[in-house]
Amino acid sequence: MLRTINAFINDESGAVTVDWVVLTAALVGLGLAVMSVVSGGIQNLSGDVGQTLANQDPVASPFPSSATFTANSSTYTEGTAATGVNR
């Protein structure tokens, strides 16, 4: 009986599990801390993006006034299509 108790006391097979539980709990705590710091800025940014999208009229002005791009040798600048037709 004494050998069994000594073997149980000296057994360290569960120590790795305890280490992983502590490490996982620390990572979860760190994630929650980061989330609480960043969440306010993300809410402000998402509100700004939503307001900007709500203010856009895709029919009247499909591109911003500063839009300039080149695609397939067609150039678009300030509302003038490559065909020369003003929009």
pLDDT tens per residue across span 8-42? 888 777 778 888 999 999 999 999 999 999 988 88
What integer best gives the mean pLDDT of the chain? 78
The residue among 15 and 79 whose pLDDT is bigger is 15
Given a contact cutoff of 8 angstroms between Cβ atoms, the answer to whether 11 and 5 are in contact is no
Neighbours of 77 (CB within 10 A): 13
Count of positions (residues) in the chain: 87
Q: Token pair of 51, please?
A: 């307001």
Rounded to two decimals, the pTM is: 0.45
Nearest-5° Cα angle at 27, 23 to 31 = 170
* pLDDT for res 78: 52
pLDDT at 29: 97
